[in-house]
Structure 1
């Protein structure tokens, strides 16, 4: 259900487990510096649990079940928008359109590590560095094609998908969980990045002291998302969150 916009005939990946260790291994294999890693966020509101997380939080990955409420909102918000056509060095953020089935986790990881502060922590000469340099000049469809054909990306994803704590479903399986990334760019703007949308979504401006897990960062990003779902659905939304931040190793 999460990949309804991706043609059934397209390439399919084994869904990525929502596991910070698996995610960290994947992005490091591709070329992210060991100075960063993904962390479980056990609570978005409990100060004592938030205090344990190393800051700044460079990106948040929200994992949630795709509901009718979400689909309706997504379609309504995207309807008046033009398909994103950005490319080049002047792009505010690098956005990847998803054309691989069950790859929303991978797209979320790429959005997290190729934007904001994490982008500076990509090892020069790595697979991720080469991929990003090739992607930046390309328009969204050609950029998606680059990901689709990347053997390095497919290999790293397959390795990571096999490392989860639970038995991975088949690549062709129908999965109802979806990943959305929230990232603060170099100018202080907060972005919602989702490969199923028409393009990147600017959600507001953050101050120099704010990261994506700060009160304002959450208010403009993940909490606004969850509040909309809870109010429309009439109940609590099942979700989980991981953040990209400084390594504890």
Structure 2
């Protein structure tokens, strides 16, 4: 039987660890305070940036218990998974990326939209951006909003230039700092080395599930979802692979939230 995903009490904040375990970019020009995996804070963040209040983030307490899944509003537009950056994950990541070319797509026709992470400890913010800038959620970004302006500047550019737009955005930095300092967990330093990482799963226009991680070489196609959302069985199986990889290590510090219709 698959194991459920349990968010840490009070939200899973990224925690310090040795530099070798970190997936953050070396010699980053900028650093963010690690973002707590807290759906209320994430919702406040994206609403502040301009996403419609008809969407919100919600905890997913289990990916196998139908009764718990029934509490999650549907359709689920994106999933944000927080997982431990273990040796087994690092081996998997290096092996899978070894034969892949660096992503280079850009422009309005790009699908899914992907952001390269060049800001230290910004994997939470990158994950949030991936969630709201893809699929049907992207159509619910308000006109004249900070998020709409950010996208208009970033989308025409290649990945490295696009990442620089994120680095230079004062609105993004201000909104992130305001959110990251309000969590339930102790607030770590922006330059801390951490051993938890965010990855986002979205359904693109081609109906495929994509794993979006700013520390990889680009989007990873995880298969056709058809008419299903990102909490359907094919998508959940992909999430489960992250959990299964850590069974021997005993790491259970996983959290999962989804972007879905607001309950208000």
Q: Give your verdict on TM over 0.5.
A: yes
2:259 maps to 1:241: no
Describe the SS at the equivalent of 2:200: strand
Quote the offset at 1:9 in angstroms. 4.7
Unaligned regions of 5+ residues in structure 1, if any?
none
- When normalised by structure 1's length, the TM-score is 0.94
Q: Aligned partners of 1:234, 1:16: CA distance in 2, in Å?
A: 25
Q: 2:152 aligns with which of 128, 133, 143?
A: 133
Aligned structure 1 segments of 4 or more residues deviating by more than 4 angstroms: none
Matched, 1:168 2:187: yes
1:218 to 1:174, Cα distance in 2 relative to 1, 3 A: same
Task: Quote the Cα distance in structure 1 between the aligned partners of 2:59 and 2:160.
Answer: 32
Paired residue for 1:204?
A: 223
| 1:145 equivalent in structure 2 | 164
Match of 2:133 among 100, 114, 134: 114
Q: 1:3·1:102 contact (CA, 8 Å) conserved in 2?
A: no
**Are 2:214 and 1:195 aligned?**
yes
Q: Does 1:217 align with 2:239?
A: no
Q: Does 2:37 match 1:18? A: yes
Once the two structures are TM-superposed, the CA of residue 46 in structure 1 deviates from its matched residue by 0.6
Residues 76-98 of structure 1 show CA distances to partners (whole Å, capped at 9, x for unaligned) of 10010000001012212110000
For structure 2, which runs of at least 5 residues remain unmatched after alignment? Answer: 1-18
The reply to whether residue 74 of structure 1 matches residue 89 of structure 2 is no
Maintained 8 Å contact 2:127/2:199: yes
CA distance in 2, matches of 1:170, 1:111: 24
Report the secondary structure of 1:61's partner residue.
strand
Maintained 8 Å contact 2:24/2:121:
no
SS in 2 for 1:121: coil
What is the aligned length? 245
Q: Kindly tell me: are residues 141 and 51 of structure 1, through their superposed partners in 2, closer, same or farther at Cα, counting changes over 3 Å?
A: same
**Secondary structure of the corresponding residue to residue 197 of structure 1:** coil
Alignment TM-score, normalising by the size of structure 2: 0.89
CA distance in structure 2 between the partners assigned to 1:165 and 1:234 by the alignment: 27
Which position in structure 1 is the counterpart of 2:79? Answer: 60
- Which of residues 200, 210, 221 in structure 2 aligns to 1:181? 200
Among residues 90, 103, 107, which one is paired with 2:122 in the alignment?
103
Superposition CA RMSD, Å: 1.4
